[in-house]
Amino acid sequence: MKTRRLRMPDPQRRELKRILREGGLGAAFQPIVDLSTGRPAGIEALCRPVSTGLFTCAGDLFQAAERLRMLWPLELEARRSAIATLGRWSHDARLFMNCSPQVVSDLRFVCALDLAISACEGLHRDRLVIEITERADHRITPALRRRVCELKALGFGIAIDDVGAGMSGLNRIMELRPHWLKLDMALVRRIDADPYRRKLVRAIATFASDCQIKLVAEGIESEAELETIREVGVDYAQGFHLARPLDCIADVPAVISCAPGITRCAA
């Protein structure tokens, strides 16, 4: 007689299913500031799982979803809820959404985005920027390349996240030709005290400007870092020194003071 081995249900799978069923995906919103005006050029939606002990941060959650092949439904839900909040933001900043390369490559991706957009009156594709994030998968597949071309042709913005960290390297920029580059915070940390770092970021800023790519410095934590990135030619910035991620998109200020010499307290 054949014996069937019973598989124990994975507790993380059970929890992911519950999150999808009952909603347990919170979000926080952090502005990407245009340093020439102080206005948010965009707002990044950051996924924040409502903690139940199994997942304490978004990284854990998405790692488990990847392992359990549940990345698609989870990212779909994260994007849908982020897009829905845009109705509560009365200004015209773009919404930046983190998407993994596997999900962007999926044939259903564009349709799923359009469906979420159609539920939001007056929202157009050019208000959305897809931040291609880097988790484990570093290959640029033909499917990813095709989908990115398609998204650009349809009017969506494309950003490459965490440039300078891990796998978000030069070949990714070359292959995908994004509208936005987001410099990883490791590259800008204490840039004011490090001439080597300044030279590297200045070179990237020159490249970005020559290619009409908008450059964002992530993770700005001090006035000195802010002044230095501005000095070397970075036009957009994000970080605790400018604004912490906020639970409610409507609380993101319409103008963020970022004039040189004005000191803000990092809350």
Nearest to 167 by CA among 254, 101, 122: 101
Q: How far is the CB of 138 from ligand G (least distance, A)?
A: 15
Read off the tokens for 96.
């930046």
Residue nearest ligand G by beta-carbon distance: 239
- Indicate the residue among 98 and 102 with the shorter CB distance to Mn ion: 98
Q: Which stretch binds ligand G (CB under 6 A): 18-26, 193-201, 214-222, 227-235?
A: 214-222
- Indicate the residue among 100 and 228 with the shorter CB distance to Mn ion: 100
User: What angle is formed at CA 224 by the lines to CA 238 and CA 162, rounded to 5 degrees?
Assistant: 35
Nearest to 201 by CA among 211, 215, 221: 215
Chain positions 150 to 209 lying near ligand G, rule: CB under 6 A, are: 161-162, 185
Cα distance between residue 186 and residue 172, in whole Å: 18
Binding mask 90-109 for ligand G (x = CB under 6 A): --------x-----------
CA distances from 249 to 46, 67, 77, 102, 217 (A): 11, 31, 17, 27, 21
Chain positions 135 to 174 lying near Mn ion, rule: CB under 5 A, are: 161
CA atoms within 13 A on the CB side of 260: 6
Q: Does 72 bind ligand G (CB under 6 A)?
A: no
- Indicate the residue among 40 and 219 with the shorter CB distance to ligand G: 219
Residue nearest Mn ion by beta-carbon distance: 161
Q: Does 245 bind ligand G (CB under 6 A)?
A: yes
Element (H, E) at 217: strand 214-217
Cα distance between residue 149 and residue 9, in whole Å: 40
User: What angle is formed at CA 93 by the lines to CA 92 and CA 97, rounded to 5 degrees?
Assistant: 135
CA distances from 161 to 2, 135, 172, 253 (A): 51, 11, 10, 23
How big is the site for Mn ion, counted in residues (CB under 5 A)? 3
Q: Which of 12, 30, 98, 222 binds Mn ion (CB under 5 A)?
A: 98
- Indicate the residue among 65 and 185 with the shorter CB distance to ligand G: 185
Q: Which stretch binds ligand G (CB under 6 A): 4-12, 135-143, 205-213, 239-247?
A: 239-247
- State the helix-helix crossing angle for 109-118 and 142-154, rounded to 10 degrees: 30
Q: Which stretch binds ligand G (CB under 6 A): 67-75, 113-121, 224-232, 237-245?
A: 237-245
Question: Among ligand G, Mn ion, none, what binds residue 185 when CB lies within 5 to 8 Å by partner kind?
Answer: ligand G
Residues that bind Mn ion (CB under 5 A): 98, 131, 161
Residues that bind ligand G (CB under 6 A): 30, 46, 98, 161-162, 185, 218-221, 239-240, 245
